[in-house]
Amino acid sequence: MKKLINDPRAVVDESVQGFGLAHADLVSVSADPLFVFRREPARQGKVGLVSGGGSGHEPLHAGYVGLGMLDAAVPGAVFTSPTPDQILPATLAASTGAGVVHIVKNYTGDVLNFETAAELAQAEGVEVRQVLVNDDVAVEDSLYTAGRRGVGGTVLIEKIAGAAAERGDDLDAVAAIAQRVNDSVRTMGVALAACTVPHAGVPSFELAEDEIEIGVGIHGEPGRHRIAMESADGITDRLLQPILTELDLAAGAQVLLFVNGMGGTPLSELYIVYRRAAQVLAEAGAQVARSLVGNYITALEMQGCSISVLRLDADMVELWDAPVHTPALRWGV
Amino acid sequence: MKKLINDPRAVVDESVQGFGLAHADLVSVSADPLFVFRREPARQGKVGLVSGGGSGHEPLHAGYVGLGMLDAAVPGAVFTSPTPDQILPATLAASTGAGVVHIVKNYTGDVLNFETAAELAQAEGVEVRQVLVNDDVAVEDSLYTAGRRGVGGTVLIEKIAGAAAERGDDLDAVAAIAQRVNDSVRTMGVALAACTVPHAGVPSFELAEDEIEIGVGIHGEPGRHRIAMESADGITDRLLQPILTELDLAAGAQVLLFVNGMGGTPLSELYIVYRRAAQVLAEAGAQVARSLVGNYITALEMQGCSISVLRLDADMVELWDAPVHTPALRWGV
Amino acid sequence: MATELDAGWAIDWLRRCAAVIAGHRTELIELDRAIGDGDHGENLDRGFRAVTAKLDTDVPDTPGAAFKLAAMTLMSKVGGAAGPLYGTAFLRAATAAGDAPALDAPALAAALAAGRDGVVARGKAETGDKTMIDAWTPAVEAAAAAADRGATPAELLGEAATAAEAGAVATDPMVARKGRASYLGERSAGHRDPGAASSALILRAAAEAAAAVEPGGSPAGGPSA
Amino acid sequence: MATELDAGWAIDWLRRCAAVIAGHRTELIELDRAIGDGDHGENLDRGFRAVTAKLDTDVPDTPGAAFKLAAMTLMSKVGGAAGPLYGTAFLRAATAAGDAPALDAPALAAALAAGRDGVVARGKAETGDKTMIDAWTPAVEAAAAAADRGATPAELLGEAATAAEAGAVATDPMVARKGRASYLGERSAGHRDPGAASSALILRAAAEAAAAVEPGGSPAGGPSA
Ligand SMILES: Nc1ncnc2c1ncn2[C@@H]1O[C@H](COP(=O)(O)OP(=O)(O)O)[C@@H](O)[C@H]1O
Ligand SMILES: Nc1ncnc2c1ncn2[C@@H]1O[C@H](COP(=O)(O)OP(=O)(O)O)[C@@H](O)[C@H]1O
Ligand SMILES: [Mg+2]
Ligand SMILES: [Mg+2]
Ligand SMILES: [Mg+2]
Ligand SMILES: [Mg+2]
């Protein structure tokens, strides 16, 4: 394992410190307990938006703290949910009296820790709504799993719900739009090579030179099945097919197409995937109205990508286009 | 070699096609000869800004086409300079009558091909100034080398010169500010693992599990020397020291600190490097007035980073802060 | 053999947990790497190191207080799924133990059952879902049987640990239906559940701490870190 | 043996270049990977494939016209350092050859010298800088000596190719002072310069095309792709 790190146990602390220094105009960092919050407090009466989860998915979540997106982000250890003693003060920091929405990726650890923090916050008089992100079509949502995982859709939910909160929507409305985006987005990922968790020191799974892992998540966990290496177009078709089956788009439906890099894949390859995905969507009669291509929710240096398709409505388009000013996503300001 | 590609010989064409589809609001693509240009032509009388070079450095250069930055970008084959028959029409597309500046990274191939294209453009009545980028302190600038390479500083030069052109500076002034930024920026890079050029199919150099390459460029070419793996802080110190020696900053000097990922390194690690670099600069009495952290000039999926330090003056700060709207860099608009 | 276990035993147990988890850190990481995300050993190691650090400054005077200290520390230092689950287990056990200065066999059986019930309440897993519950439930049942039979606390905990170990082994062929391993579907079979494995280690540490207790009631001197 | 080489020879030469470069593509990539960026074989292969494609539709009727076709195609298809340098070499050779329907030995020596001078004018490399010049200059010198001595074109080109091959080998111990390999400093020693190696291949192809020419003046049938 070769990484640009010092002590494997200090990676999250040191990385968040560096992040805080680089973006001191936008965010402040609480070192212990560790969380990141907006430097300029949001105006009174704005619904607070908090997310968090294991580290290793940068720029998620801290990179999305700022105007029009999150009020606070809570980084756990690498691929490990943060704890209630971090989430609670982040929630309090995000609260201006109008309640706080927790955007939580649907992993047992995240759900349990955010639940506990929400109870504690409620005991301190802050109303909390939890919205679970579970957009990953690779996992069957059934009694026989922990439910679908939250993956690429998280970024879109944080952007759109953040814009709703900035616009002045109330607690229920912000939670409702977050839920609506979650219900309208589907994602599937692929890994060409695994990542190495710093404290583990070895790759989180082994892939032969001619194998890829289809339906992979963002924690270095193995995917749903392993197949022989294919062309970018072939892989793109495999990822899109279950997404399209689930979304069941009407002809002329407007969509947002999000091709996300897992951290170790060149941008040029993401555009090759985007090219094919746009072709397939056009053939399916959908209209790609908005796009996002890049490393927005990663799994350390994993090689691979995920494709997300979000069925848009007019309100979502307006909220997507609304100004955002965070370290990792910025426009209109 | 596992990559999200179809035919290794089609990677640049397909990737640029996908790029054009994803950013059709900002750029247009000429397929043959291949180049990328602004969708909205710049206003008459604006100096044109064109850059280009081998592909594999994405988002450089096409990602920087748009308001406040480049008017056209010319992608060559992977790590191979483009040819005059691409550069000439890109130059003509960027010309509104006020002349065109070519920002050329100082590699023999780029210099020769841009020179030829400039001659041809001049024959068609377009005045061209060539500004060579040579910010890499890893290479000695002497009679015994092809001169220093153009690396990370390229991004800063394109941003600042682009803003100057947008502001209405004339041809000589835009070339002069580009030259001034070049003279004020120094960069040094490190590789933890090499990249694989698609048509070659094998890594461009071999590094043992405990070796790193110091002073590496952005073409998968080996660096200046190979050392045993070190901590992020140790590596950062090694990269910064020659930069600081060359820049010879006055106490209180304002700088822009740019920590750039080579493509396969997680953002979290770049922030660990940023953290140490900011410490060292503070100890050296410099004031980090602006920052940039991320994958802005890459070498495919190479693991590693580069650090650039730009000595700022008031005009550079104003031009850095000016609005920019390109696929890869956007603010103020 | 002591008929009751006091705060000294509880503290010794927690210190032994830290030692045994540190010793099996890599093994637990490997188990989690196979069907999860490879952090279980690291997370528990971080958590129990924090527990022993806490114990260096803060000496609980009842088993219940020791369990509560462990609960709060694990809850705030472990994260992931295991943090809240183990945290809840120790918290419920603390509630069951109450202020009692020492626990007899029936009280120990009740505390284990309360802990297990806490994990079920939080995690909603059932037996056979390939989780830590598959170690805890046989342990709770063995403890109840031992208490009914009038076994000593050390015997009870020994039998609970043995049952937990068998329960952990029994997760090998199971297909996971809860937690991160469930994403793997059928591919989760053929691997031991990391949480069940760590639960067996923790319960074995409880038994060893009990076995080390002198008739008088305090531990004979287990590892101190 | 023919005393003059016509357009047929020149076309045959270019087709042989394409074949020999395709056959050595990987080897040239490997050489460039060691001290450069690993694209030299790919770039020249792409360029000479474009040259033969062009020759399928466009039949030059003088050596000069063939050189010019090669120059323009290499310039627009190769890129990198080698594209403009080889392009300039062929362009200057074309100018030297002029409209002559065929070239005798002195004209061939002059065309080679003009090509070499073009590379020097563009690239500013000197002998010993570990570039293609270290293959070209001995070739030009051998050609001049052969022409002075009254050698046939085929003899002249054979001696030039042999000198280029020796020149390429001689780059092995050199420390590069031009091109991408110069960034490596001392570490560039111990590797052959890829441009010198490809230059030797190209000149050998010229000699073989000349050797294949029937006394009448057209090639005896070299490879056609
Ligand atoms: N719903 C659940 N109920 C009971 N135990 C669970 C549940 N989900 C996960 N676990 C246990 O947690 C263990 C994983 O813990 P850990 O690796 O620390 O958390 P994470 O999965 O968040 O990385 C599993 O091996 C399993 O025993
Ligand atoms: N200044 C120069 N003068 C002469 N030849 C040069 C010069 N620079 C480079 N070369 C030749 O070009 C070769 C490299 O070509 P190529 O790999 O195609 O270009 P690039 O270096 O742009 O990737 C070198 O091996 C060397 O022979
Ligand atoms: Mg985890
Ligand atoms: Mg090249
Ligand atoms: Mg885990
Ligand atoms: Mg090369």
Question: At A45, which CATH number?
Answer: 3.40.50.10440
In sequence order, what are the beta bridge partners of A188? A307
Inter-chain CB proximity D42 and B199 less than 8 Å: yes
Total domains in chain B come to 1
Do B263 and B302 meet the contact criterion of CB atoms below 8 Å apart?
yes
> Could you give the 3-state DSSP secondary structure of residue A70?
strand
**Cβ contact D108:D146 at 8 Å:** no
3-state SS assignment for residue A227: strand
- In this predicted structure, the answer to whether residue C206 has a pLDDT above a threshold of 50 is yes
Write a three-state SS string for C60-126.
Answer: CCCHHHHHHHHHHHHHHHCCCCHHHHHHHHHHHHHHHHCCCCEECHHHHHHHHHHHHHHHHHHHCCC
Question: B286-304 pLDDT, tens per residue?
Answer: 999 999 999 999 999 999 9
Query: Does residue D202 register a pLDDT over 90?
Result: yes
Residues of B with CB under 8 A from a CB of D: 33, 54, 76-85, 107-109, 112-113, 115-116, 138-140, 143-146, 149, 197, 199-200, 202, 204-205, 217, 219-222, 224-225
pLDDT band at A204 (very low <50, low <70, confident <90, very high): confident
Element (H, E) at C202: helix C194-211
> Shortest CB distance from C177 goes to which of A78, A144, A199?
A144
Pick the closest to residue C46 from C94, C100, C83 (CA basis). Answer: C83
Residue in D40, D36, D80, D30 with CA at minimum distance from that of residue D184: D36
pLDDT at C166 over 70: yes
Distance CA B35, CA B17 (A): 10
The pLDDT > 90 percentage for chain C reads 89
Q: Is the pLDDT confidence value at A63 over 70?
A: yes
Q: What is the pLDDT of residue D114?
A: 98
Tell me the CA–centroid distance for residue B223 and ligand 6, in Å: 15
Taking residues B77-87, what's their average pLDDT?
95
Residue A217 clears pLDDT 70, i.e. is over it = yes
Question: Following CA atoms D171, D173, D176, D181 in sequence, which dihedral angle do they give, to the nearest 10 degrees?
Answer: 90
Instruction: Please determine, for residue D222, whether its predicted confidence score (pLDDT) is greater than 80.
Output: no
pLDDT higher than 80, residue D215: no
Q: Evaluate if residue A112 carries a pLDDT over 90.
A: yes
Confidence of residue D167 (pLDDT cuts 50, 70, 90): very high
Q: What is the pLDDT of residues D173-194, one digit of tens each?
A: 999 999 989 988 888 999 999 9
C-alpha to C-alpha distances, A191 to A66, A203, A217, A229, A240, nearest whole angstrom = 31, 12, 9, 10, 15
Residue located via tokens 């951290």: A263
Give the 3-state secondary structure of residue C183: helix
- For residue B317, being part of any structural domain is answered with no
CA distance linking residue D162 with residue A149, whole number of Å: 67
State yes or no: pLDDT of D224 exceeds 70.
no
* Mean pLDDT computed over B58-80: 97
Q: Ligand 1 atom closest to Cα of A146?
A: 1
| Within-domain flag for A45 | yes
Q: Which of B43, B40, B45, B62 is nearest to B53 (CA)?
A: B62
Supply the residue whose CA is at minimum distance from atom 25 of ligand 2. D195
pLDDT score at A279: 98
Global pTM value: 0.93
Q: What's the pLDDT at A44?
A: 94
Query: Cα of B2 to ligand 2 centre, how many Å?
Result: 29
Which of A74, A221, A225, A226 should one mutate to test binding to chain C, selecting the residue with the greatest count of C CBs within 10 A? A221
Q: Which tens digits make up the pLDDT trace of A260-310?
A: 999 999 999 999 999 999 999 999 999 999 999 999 999 999 999 999 999
Taking CA atoms, what residue in A is nearest to C27?
A200
Q: Which of D71, D158, D68, D143 is nearest to D108 (CA)?
A: D143
Token pair of A272 as six digits: 């090759």
Does residue A235 sit within a domain?
Answer: no
Which position has the higher pLDDT, D76 or D62? D62
**What CATH number does the domain containing C29 carry?**
1.25.40.340
pLDDT exceeds 50 at position B279 = yes
Whether C62 maps to a domain, the answer reads: yes
- DSSP 3-state of A216: coil
Phi-psi category of residue B265: left, alpha or beta, with phi > 0 → left and psi -120 to 50 → alpha: beta
- What residue numbers bound the domain in which C141 lies? 5-211
Q: Determine the pLDDT at residue D225.
A: 38
- Whether residue B330 lies inside any domain: the answer is no
Q: How high is the pLDDT of residue A211?
A: 95
Q: Span A26-48, mean pLDDT? A: 96
The confidence score (pLDDT) of residue A145 equals 75
Report whether pLDDT(A221) > 80.
no
In this prediction, residue A14 has a pLDDT band, given cuts at 50, 70 and 90, of very high
Q: With contact defined as beta carbons under 8 Å apart, do B160 and B181 qualify?
A: yes
Q: Does the residue B80 lie in any domain? A: yes
Give the pLDDT band (50/70/90) at residue D220.
low
Closest CA to D130 of D200, D181, D79, D204: D181
Cα separation, B217 vs B221, in Å, equals: 6
Domain count, chain C: 1
D152: pLDDT strictly greater than 80: yes
The band of D131, judged by pLDDT with boundaries at 50, 70 and 90, is very high
Query: DSSP readout, A252-306?
Result: T-EEEEEEEE-BSS-HHHHHHHHHHHHHHHHHTT-EEEEEEEE-SS--TTBEEEE
Average pLDDT (D33-61) is 95
C-alpha D8 chain-centroid distance: 17
Three-class SS of residue A104?
strand
Q: How far apart are CA B227 and CA D64, in angstroms?
A: 52
In degrees, rounded to 5, the angle at the alpha carbon of residue C54 between the alpha carbons of residues C49 and C55 is 100
The verdict on the CB of residue C82 being under 6 Å from ligand 1 is yes
Residue C225 located in a structural domain: no
Domain with B66, as residue range(s), is: 8-184
CB B232 within 8 A of CB A6: yes
Ligand 1 atom nearest residue C180's Cα: 21
d(CA A188, CA A131): 20
The answer on pLDDT for A142 being more than 80 is no
pLDDT of residue C214: 74
Q: Bridge-partner residues for B49, per DSSP?
A: B101
Partners of D46 on chain B (C-beta within 8 Å) are 77
d(CA D68, CA D48): 13
Ligand 1 atom nearest C31 alpha carbon: 25
Q: What is the pLDDT of residues C27-76, one digit of tens each?
A: 999 999 999 988 999 999 999 999 999 999 999 999 999 999 999 999 98
Q: Tokens for D5?
A: 């080489």
Strand runs (DSSP E) across A113-218, as ranges?
Answer: 128-133, 185-193, 211-214
Q: Which of B52, B64, B54 is nearest to B12 (CA)?
A: B54
Q: Which chains touch D (3 or more CB pairs under 8 A)?
A: B
Q: Break chain C down into helix, strand, coil percent, rounded to 5.
A: 70, 5, 30
Check pLDDT > 90 for residue A195: yes
pLDDT given for residue A122 in this prediction: 93
- What does the pLDDT read at residue B219? 86
- The pLDDT tens digits for D11-41 are 999 999 999 999 999 999 999 999 998 899 9
Whole-number pLDDT of residue D79: 92
What percent of chain A is modeled with pLDDT above 90? 90
C-beta separation of B52 from B1 below 8 A:
no
Question: At residue D145, does pLDDT exceed 80?
Answer: yes
Phi and psi angles of residue A330, each rounded to the nearest 5 degrees, phi first = -150, 130
* pLDDT tens for each residue of B123-145: 899 999 999 999 999 887 766 77
Centroid of ligand 4 to alpha carbon of B54 (angstroms) = 7
Residue with tokens 């229920």: A172
Please give the pLDDT value at position D1: 63
The rounded distance, in Å, linking the Cα atoms of B281 and B287 is 7
Indicate whether B49 pLDDT > 50.
yes
Partner residue opposite A220 with nearest CB, options C38, C42, C122: C38
Q: What letter does residue B205 receive in the DSSP assignment?
A: S
* A202 in any annotated domain: no
> By C-alpha distance, which of D176, D85, D192 is closest to B109?
D85
Hey, of D31, D35, D39, which one would you mutate to test binding to chain B, going by the most B CBs within 10 A of its CB?
Answer: D39
Residue C217 is predicted with a pLDDT of 56
Supply the pLDDT for residue A140. 74
d(CA A197, CA A77): 10
Across the interface, whether the CB atoms of D180 and B108 are under 8 A apart is answered: yes
The CA distance from C71 to the nearest CA of chain A, in Å, is: 13
> How far is residue D167's CA from residue D125's CA, in Å, rounded to a whole number?
15
- Higher pLDDT: C186 or D27? It is D27
In what helix (H) or strand (E) does residue D22 lie, and over which residues does it extend?
helix D7-23
- Evaluate if residue C224 carries a pLDDT over 50: no
